[in-house]
Amino acid sequence: MSMRMNPNPDFKMYVRGYDPRAVLPHNETVHRIATCTDEVQLASMSRQRREALELIQSTTGLAGMGLQLDMWIDSNTNISYAGIHLTFVQELETELKLADHLLDFGVFPYTSHTAIKIPS
């Protein structure tokens, strides 16, 4: 959570839309909780995952990245499409920038029951 999000009145109104009694902690508290959670997660990572993260950092210069797999169907033609997006945050000198790259895109080879065809 951004340090600036918590004091934002629009964000408070958004949260209170779910529960009018909601009270948000101070933004420094939220930041400390997020930092502590990050430290705990890093400490609990297996050696293999830590090595994978180090490999990502050394090859891409990024602290981390996410892959998003999307699938949708054109209801007019019943053609299914699949795409893979790579998303990461670049730390520039003055700001953070969200970057999203389309790694692959294609027609899914099945015309019906696409969810069943996805290997788990």
- Segment 75-102, tens digit of pLDDT: 788 788 888 877 776 666 677 777 777 7
Going 19 to 23 to 27 to 29, the CA torsion angle's sign is negative
Distance CA 14, CA 20 (A): 10
Tell me the pLDDT of the chain averaged across its residues. Answer: 72
Instruction: Summarize pLDDT for 48-81 with one digit per residue, the tens.
Output: 666 766 776 777 676 667 778 788 777 788 788 8
For residue 1, name the pLDDT band (cuts at 50, 70, 90). Answer: very low
Q: In the predicted model, is pLDDT for residue 40 greater than 60? A: yes
Q: In the predicted model, is pLDDT for residue 114 greater than 60? A: no
Can you give the residue ranges of every domain in the chain?
Answer: 1-44, 61-120
Q: Which residue has the higher pLDDT, 4 or 109?
A: 109
Q: Alpha carbon of 94 to those of 10, 63, 68, 90, 97: distances in Å?
A: 25, 17, 27, 11, 10
pTM equals 0.36
| Residue 5 per-residue DSSP state | T
Residues 86/64, Cβ–Cβ less than 8 Å:
no
